[in-house]
Amino acid sequence: MAFFGERATAGRQATDHRLSRHWRGFGLAAGIATFVQRLRNLGWSEGRTVAIEYRWGEGRRERFAEIAAEFVRLKVDLIVAGGSAVPLLKQATSVVPIVFVLATDPVGGGLVASLSRPGGNVTGLSNQGVDLATGRLEILLEVVTGLRRLAILANVDFAESLLEMAEVEAAARSLGIEVAKVEIRRTEDIAPAFETLQRQADALYVVVDGLVSANRTRIFTLATSARLPTIVNTREHAEAGALMSFGPSFHALFRRAAEYVDKILRGGKPADIPVEQPTNYDLVINLITAKAIGLAISPTLLARANEVIE
Protein backbone atom coordinates (compact mmCIF):
# COMPACT_ATOMS: atom_id res chain seq x y z
CA MET A 1 0.00 0.00 0.00
CA ALA A 2 0.99 3.60 -0.32
CA PHE A 3 0.92 6.02 2.53
CA PHE A 4 0.52 9.64 1.80
CA GLY A 5 0.70 12.84 3.80
CA GLU A 6 -1.46 15.77 2.81
CA ARG A 7 -1.19 19.39 3.93
CA ALA A 8 -4.44 21.08 2.96
CA THR A 9 -5.74 24.64 2.76
CA ALA A 10 -9.34 25.75 2.67
CA GLY A 11 -10.23 28.76 0.55
CA ARG A 12 -7.81 31.62 0.96
CA GLN A 13 -7.06 30.86 4.57
CA ALA A 14 -4.35 28.27 5.06
CA THR A 15 -5.03 25.47 7.50
CA ASP A 16 -2.58 22.88 8.76
CA HIS A 17 -4.16 19.60 7.70
CA ARG A 18 -1.82 16.73 7.00
CA LEU A 19 -3.24 13.47 5.84
CA SER A 20 -1.50 10.15 5.41
CA ARG A 21 -2.84 7.72 2.83
CA HIS A 22 -1.76 4.10 2.86
CA TRP A 23 -2.46 1.78 -0.08
CA ARG A 24 -0.80 -1.60 0.08
CA GLY A 25 0.60 -2.57 -3.30
CA PHE A 26 -2.69 -3.67 -4.86
CA GLY A 27 -1.75 -2.15 -8.20
CA LEU A 28 -4.70 0.21 -7.86
CA ALA A 29 -3.43 3.16 -9.85
CA ALA A 30 -6.89 3.73 -11.30
CA GLY A 31 -8.44 3.62 -7.85
CA ILE A 32 -6.00 6.17 -6.52
CA ALA A 33 -6.69 8.40 -9.52
CA THR A 34 -10.41 8.16 -8.74
CA PHE A 35 -9.70 9.07 -5.12
CA VAL A 36 -7.62 12.11 -6.05
CA GLN A 37 -10.17 13.28 -8.61
CA ARG A 38 -13.00 13.05 -6.07
CA LEU A 39 -10.92 14.99 -3.56
CA ARG A 40 -10.42 17.64 -6.23
CA ASN A 41 -14.17 17.80 -6.81
CA LEU A 42 -14.62 18.32 -3.08
CA GLY A 43 -12.16 21.20 -2.99
CA TRP A 44 -8.88 19.48 -2.14
CA SER A 45 -6.64 19.98 -5.16
CA GLU A 46 -3.36 18.08 -5.21
CA GLY A 47 -0.42 20.47 -5.47
CA ARG A 48 -2.57 23.47 -4.53
CA THR A 49 -4.76 22.83 -1.53
CA VAL A 50 -3.32 19.47 -0.65
CA ALA A 51 0.17 17.94 -0.84
CA ILE A 52 0.41 14.16 -1.23
CA GLU A 53 3.30 11.87 -0.30
CA TYR A 54 3.08 8.20 -1.29
CA ARG A 55 4.59 5.29 0.60
CA TRP A 56 4.44 1.64 -0.53
CA GLY A 57 4.46 -1.20 1.98
CA GLU A 58 4.90 -3.95 -0.66
CA GLY A 59 3.09 -6.47 1.52
CA ARG A 60 5.73 -6.39 4.28
CA ARG A 61 4.30 -5.97 7.77
CA GLU A 62 7.53 -4.53 9.12
CA ARG A 63 7.35 -1.86 6.45
CA PHE A 64 3.78 -1.03 7.46
CA ALA A 65 4.91 -0.51 11.05
CA GLU A 66 7.78 1.73 9.94
CA ILE A 67 5.51 3.89 7.81
CA ALA A 68 2.84 4.09 10.51
CA ALA A 69 5.44 5.30 13.00
CA GLU A 70 6.78 7.78 10.45
CA PHE A 71 3.43 9.46 9.89
CA VAL A 72 2.68 9.58 13.60
CA ARG A 73 6.00 11.39 14.08
CA LEU A 74 5.04 13.78 11.28
CA LYS A 75 1.76 14.48 13.10
CA VAL A 76 -0.43 13.93 10.07
CA ASP A 77 -4.08 14.85 10.40
CA LEU A 78 -5.54 11.73 8.82
CA ILE A 79 -4.46 8.32 7.56
CA VAL A 80 -6.15 6.45 4.71
CA ALA A 81 -5.22 2.78 4.58
CA GLY A 82 -6.07 -0.63 3.25
CA GLY A 83 -7.77 -2.81 5.85
CA SER A 84 -4.84 -5.12 6.54
CA ALA A 85 -2.66 -2.20 7.66
CA VAL A 86 -5.18 -0.75 10.12
CA PRO A 87 -4.36 -3.00 13.11
CA LEU A 88 -0.77 -1.75 13.03
CA LEU A 89 -1.92 1.81 12.52
CA LYS A 90 -4.26 1.53 15.52
CA GLN A 91 -1.30 0.36 17.58
CA ALA A 92 0.67 3.39 16.45
CA THR A 93 -2.04 5.96 17.21
CA SER A 94 -5.41 6.16 18.91
CA VAL A 95 -5.71 9.86 18.09
CA VAL A 96 -5.06 10.36 14.36
CA PRO A 97 -8.23 9.61 12.34
CA ILE A 98 -7.93 6.54 10.11
CA VAL A 99 -10.10 5.84 7.04
CA PHE A 100 -9.83 2.30 5.72
CA VAL A 101 -10.61 1.09 2.22
CA LEU A 102 -11.20 -2.55 1.23
CA ALA A 103 -11.54 -3.99 4.75
CA THR A 104 -12.80 -7.56 4.50
CA ASP A 105 -14.56 -7.80 7.88
CA PRO A 106 -14.02 -4.63 9.92
CA VAL A 107 -15.97 -5.86 12.96
CA GLY A 108 -14.64 -9.42 12.97
CA GLY A 109 -11.14 -8.10 12.29
CA GLY A 110 -11.32 -5.76 15.28
CA LEU A 111 -11.06 -2.54 13.28
CA VAL A 112 -14.32 -1.05 14.60
CA ALA A 113 -16.78 -1.77 17.40
CA SER A 114 -19.73 -1.93 14.99
CA LEU A 115 -20.63 -0.82 11.48
CA SER A 116 -23.14 1.77 12.65
CA ARG A 117 -21.02 3.16 15.49
CA PRO A 118 -17.34 2.51 14.75
CA GLY A 119 -16.05 4.18 17.92
CA GLY A 120 -12.48 5.32 18.39
CA ASN A 121 -10.46 6.89 15.58
CA VAL A 122 -11.25 4.44 12.76
CA THR A 123 -13.97 4.22 10.11
CA GLY A 124 -14.22 3.48 6.39
CA LEU A 125 -15.55 1.08 3.80
CA SER A 126 -15.99 -2.66 3.86
CA ASN A 127 -15.56 -4.79 0.75
CA GLN A 128 -17.67 -7.57 2.32
CA GLY A 129 -14.99 -10.11 1.49
CA VAL A 130 -16.33 -12.69 3.93
CA ASP A 131 -19.98 -12.29 2.91
CA LEU A 132 -19.10 -12.68 -0.77
CA ALA A 133 -16.94 -15.77 -0.30
CA THR A 134 -19.88 -18.13 -0.89
CA GLY A 135 -20.88 -16.20 -4.00
CA ARG A 136 -17.41 -16.55 -5.46
CA LEU A 137 -17.43 -20.27 -4.78
CA GLU A 138 -20.77 -20.63 -6.55
CA ILE A 139 -19.37 -18.86 -9.62
CA LEU A 140 -16.35 -21.16 -9.54
CA LEU A 141 -18.66 -24.17 -9.48
CA GLU A 142 -20.28 -22.92 -12.70
CA VAL A 143 -16.90 -22.93 -14.43
CA VAL A 144 -15.19 -26.02 -13.04
CA THR A 145 -17.32 -29.02 -13.85
CA GLY A 146 -17.07 -31.69 -11.19
CA LEU A 147 -15.23 -29.49 -8.69
CA ARG A 148 -14.43 -31.78 -5.78
CA ARG A 149 -11.18 -30.45 -4.31
CA LEU A 150 -10.63 -26.77 -3.58
CA ALA A 151 -7.38 -25.18 -2.43
CA ILE A 152 -7.59 -21.93 -0.45
CA LEU A 153 -4.46 -19.78 -0.39
CA ALA A 154 -4.18 -17.13 2.31
CA ASN A 155 -1.72 -15.21 4.44
CA VAL A 156 -2.43 -16.76 7.83
CA ASP A 157 -0.71 -13.92 9.67
CA PHE A 158 -3.57 -11.59 8.67
CA ALA A 159 -6.68 -11.99 10.85
CA GLU A 160 -9.19 -11.00 8.15
CA SER A 161 -7.71 -13.55 5.74
CA LEU A 162 -8.30 -16.25 8.33
CA LEU A 163 -11.93 -15.17 8.63
CA GLU A 164 -12.45 -15.38 4.88
CA MET A 165 -10.62 -18.70 4.65
CA ALA A 166 -12.92 -20.13 7.32
CA GLU A 167 -16.01 -18.85 5.47
CA VAL A 168 -14.90 -20.41 2.18
CA GLU A 169 -13.98 -23.67 3.88
CA ALA A 170 -17.40 -23.92 5.53
CA ALA A 171 -19.21 -23.16 2.27
CA ALA A 172 -17.13 -25.70 0.37
CA ARG A 173 -17.70 -28.47 2.87
CA SER A 174 -21.45 -27.80 2.86
CA LEU A 175 -21.34 -28.51 -0.87
CA GLY A 176 -19.37 -31.71 -0.41
CA ILE A 177 -16.12 -30.18 -1.65
CA GLU A 178 -12.85 -31.18 -0.03
CA VAL A 179 -10.62 -28.32 1.10
CA ALA A 180 -6.84 -27.96 1.18
CA LYS A 181 -5.62 -24.88 3.04
CA VAL A 182 -2.48 -23.35 1.55
CA GLU A 183 -0.89 -21.18 4.23
CA ILE A 184 1.68 -18.49 3.51
CA ARG A 185 3.34 -15.86 5.69
CA ARG A 186 6.01 -14.40 3.41
CA THR A 187 6.99 -14.28 -0.26
CA GLU A 188 9.33 -17.24 0.14
CA ASP A 189 6.40 -19.47 1.10
CA ILE A 190 4.56 -19.09 -2.20
CA ALA A 191 6.50 -21.40 -4.54
CA PRO A 192 6.77 -24.23 -1.98
CA ALA A 193 3.04 -23.86 -1.28
CA PHE A 194 2.23 -24.59 -4.91
CA GLU A 195 4.60 -27.54 -4.90
CA THR A 196 2.66 -29.09 -2.03
CA LEU A 197 -0.53 -28.99 -4.06
CA GLN A 198 0.88 -31.44 -6.61
CA ARG A 199 -2.36 -31.48 -8.62
CA GLN A 200 -4.34 -32.22 -5.46
CA ALA A 201 -6.85 -29.45 -6.20
CA ASP A 202 -9.32 -28.77 -9.00
CA ALA A 203 -9.39 -25.01 -8.38
CA LEU A 204 -7.85 -22.31 -6.20
CA TYR A 205 -9.54 -19.60 -4.14
CA VAL A 206 -7.06 -16.82 -3.36
CA VAL A 207 -7.72 -14.68 -0.28
CA VAL A 208 -6.32 -11.24 -1.04
CA ASP A 209 -4.24 -9.18 1.37
CA GLY A 210 -1.12 -7.07 1.03
CA LEU A 211 1.28 -10.01 0.80
CA VAL A 212 -0.83 -11.68 -1.89
CA SER A 213 -1.22 -8.43 -3.80
CA ALA A 214 2.49 -7.70 -3.76
CA ASN A 215 3.09 -11.18 -5.23
CA ARG A 216 0.02 -11.47 -7.45
CA THR A 217 1.94 -11.99 -10.70
CA ARG A 218 4.00 -14.76 -9.14
CA ILE A 219 0.92 -16.45 -7.67
CA PHE A 220 -1.15 -16.45 -10.84
CA THR A 221 1.78 -17.49 -13.02
CA LEU A 222 2.26 -20.52 -10.78
CA ALA A 223 -1.48 -21.21 -10.80
CA THR A 224 -1.61 -21.04 -14.60
CA SER A 225 1.40 -23.36 -14.87
CA ALA A 226 -0.45 -25.81 -12.61
CA ARG A 227 -3.59 -25.33 -14.76
CA LEU A 228 -5.57 -24.28 -11.70
CA PRO A 229 -8.65 -22.09 -12.25
CA THR A 230 -8.48 -19.22 -9.74
CA ILE A 231 -10.98 -16.78 -8.28
CA VAL A 232 -10.28 -13.63 -6.25
CA ASN A 233 -12.08 -10.49 -5.09
CA THR A 234 -10.53 -7.75 -7.24
CA ARG A 235 -10.40 -6.82 -10.89
CA GLU A 236 -6.69 -5.95 -10.58
CA HIS A 237 -5.89 -9.55 -9.75
CA ALA A 238 -7.86 -10.77 -12.75
CA GLU A 239 -5.72 -8.43 -14.84
CA ALA A 240 -2.66 -9.99 -13.22
CA GLY A 241 -3.71 -13.47 -14.38
CA ALA A 242 -6.45 -14.80 -12.11
CA LEU A 243 -9.19 -16.56 -14.05
CA MET A 244 -12.00 -14.58 -12.42
CA SER A 245 -12.72 -11.90 -9.87
CA PHE A 246 -15.97 -11.04 -8.15
CA GLY A 247 -16.26 -8.20 -5.69
CA PRO A 248 -17.20 -4.59 -5.05
CA SER A 249 -16.47 -1.85 -7.55
CA PHE A 250 -13.12 -0.44 -6.47
CA HIS A 251 -13.80 2.85 -8.21
CA ALA A 252 -16.91 3.31 -6.08
CA LEU A 253 -15.01 2.44 -2.90
CA PHE A 254 -12.18 4.86 -3.63
CA ARG A 255 -14.62 7.60 -4.55
CA ARG A 256 -16.43 7.15 -1.24
CA ALA A 257 -13.13 7.05 0.67
CA ALA A 258 -12.40 10.56 -0.60
CA GLU A 259 -15.78 11.67 0.74
CA TYR A 260 -14.92 10.21 4.16
CA VAL A 261 -11.66 12.18 4.09
CA ASP A 262 -13.51 15.35 3.19
CA LYS A 263 -15.94 14.91 6.09
CA ILE A 264 -13.15 14.38 8.60
CA LEU A 265 -10.97 17.23 7.35
CA ARG A 266 -14.00 19.47 7.76
CA GLY A 267 -14.49 18.45 11.39
CA GLY A 268 -16.28 15.11 11.38
CA LYS A 269 -15.22 12.40 13.86
CA PRO A 270 -14.53 8.82 12.71
CA ALA A 271 -16.37 7.44 15.74
CA ASP A 272 -19.60 8.99 14.45
CA ILE A 273 -19.30 8.08 10.75
CA PRO A 274 -20.77 4.62 10.02
CA VAL A 275 -18.84 2.04 8.04
CA GLU A 276 -20.38 1.61 4.60
CA GLN A 277 -20.83 -1.62 2.68
CA PRO A 278 -20.72 -1.73 -1.13
CA THR A 279 -23.72 -1.79 -3.41
CA ASN A 280 -21.95 -2.32 -6.77
CA TYR A 281 -20.23 -5.58 -7.68
CA ASP A 282 -18.11 -6.53 -10.67
CA LEU A 283 -17.57 -9.96 -12.24
CA VAL A 284 -14.42 -10.00 -14.38
CA ILE A 285 -13.35 -13.01 -16.46
CA ASN A 286 -9.88 -13.38 -17.96
CA LEU A 287 -10.25 -15.34 -21.20
CA ILE A 288 -6.49 -15.24 -21.76
CA THR A 289 -6.02 -17.28 -18.60
CA ALA A 290 -8.94 -19.54 -19.49
CA LYS A 291 -7.29 -20.36 -22.81
CA ALA A 292 -3.90 -20.93 -21.16
CA ILE A 293 -5.34 -23.53 -18.78
CA GLY A 294 -7.61 -25.10 -21.42
CA LEU A 295 -10.89 -24.09 -19.81
CA ALA A 296 -14.05 -23.09 -21.68
CA ILE A 297 -16.29 -20.41 -20.18
CA SER A 298 -20.00 -20.69 -20.96
CA PRO A 299 -21.64 -17.91 -23.01
CA THR A 300 -24.16 -17.51 -20.17
CA LEU A 301 -21.49 -16.63 -17.63
CA LEU A 302 -19.66 -14.40 -20.10
CA ALA A 303 -22.90 -12.50 -20.66
CA ARG A 304 -23.16 -11.87 -16.91
CA ALA A 305 -19.61 -10.52 -16.65
CA ASN A 306 -19.04 -6.80 -16.20
CA GLU A 307 -15.77 -7.16 -18.07
CA VAL A 308 -14.05 -9.83 -20.16
CA ILE A 309 -10.29 -9.66 -20.57
CA GLU A 310 -9.16 -11.06 -23.92
Of 55-59, 99-103, 171-175, which gets the smallest average pLDDT? 55-59
Q: Find out whether 223 and 252 touch, Cβ atoms under 8 Å.
A: no
Q: Residues 49, 89: one domain?
A: yes
Question: ∠21-24-27 over CA atoms, to 5°?
Answer: 110
121 and 230 both lie in a single domain: no
In this structure, are 173 and 274 located in the same domain?
A: no
Same domain, 165 and 286: yes
The Cα angle at residue 222 between residues 220 and 223, in degrees rounded to 5: 60
Same domain, 10 and 117: yes
Q: What is the mean pLDDT of residues 235-263?
A: 91
Across 115-120, average pLDDT: 94
The reply to whether 194 and 258 lie within a common domain is no
Least confident of 8-12, 53-57, 232-236: 8-12
Residue 256 sits in the same domain as residue 179:
no
Are 184 and 139 in the same domain?
yes
- Indicate whether this model's pTM tops 0.85: no
Question: Distance between CA 263 and CA 147 in Å, rounded?
Answer: 47
For residues 124-134, give the mean pLDDT. 81
Cβ contact 8:44 at 8 Å? yes
User: What is the percent of the chain where pLDDT is above 70?
Assistant: 88
Cα–chain-centroid distance for residue 185? Answer: 17
CATH of the domain at 102: 3.40.50.2300
Do 114 and 57 share a structural domain? Answer: yes
Same structural domain for residues 121 and 267? yes
Q: Domain range for residue 31?
A: 2-127+249-279
How much is the average pLDDT of 151-155?
96
Asked if 208 and 305 sit in the same domain, the reply is yes
92 and 139 housed in the same domain: no
> Does residue 16 carry a pLDDT above 60?
no
Number of structural domains in the chain: 2
